Amino acid sequence: MTGFIILGAVAAVVGLGLLVTAIRHQSEQQPRYAAMLIGGMMMTAFGIVIAGFAIAYQRTAPLDLNAGAGR
């Protein structure tokens, strides 16, 4: 699971880098920077979600569906 946390952190940092680059060049009105803005937002969100789910999965106990109450 540590690999997913690292993957999420790296994706979030790369996504933020794309966002910063796209915002700095926003005045140039090129489609390249619009695509970088969208891709940066998507990659940042992906990284945060992957890391968050990996942390939540590590902290919770396994779900045992067979231990339910009988009817």
- Which residue shows structure tokens 């779900």? 63
Given this model, what pLDDT does residue 66 score?
Answer: 78
Q: How many CB atoms lie within 10 A of CB 57?
A: 11
pLDDT tens readout for residues 18-27: 999 999 998 8
Q: Where are the beta strands (DSSP E) in 1-71?
A: none
Q: What is the residue-level pLDDT of the chain in tens, covering all 71 positions?
A: 689 999 999 999 999 999 999 999 988 889 999 999 999 999 999 999 999 999 999 998 887 777 766 55
Provide the mean pLDDT of the chain. Answer: 90
The pTM (predicted TM-score) of the whole model is 0.78
Number of domain units in the chain: 1
Residue 70 lies in a domain: no
Cα 52 to Cα 32: distance, rounded to the nearest angstrom = 30
Residue 52 lies in a domain: yes
The number of angstroms, rounded, from the C-alpha of 36 to the middle of its chain's C-alpha atoms is 16
Structural domain boundaries, residue 45: 2-59
Residue 8 lies in a domain: yes
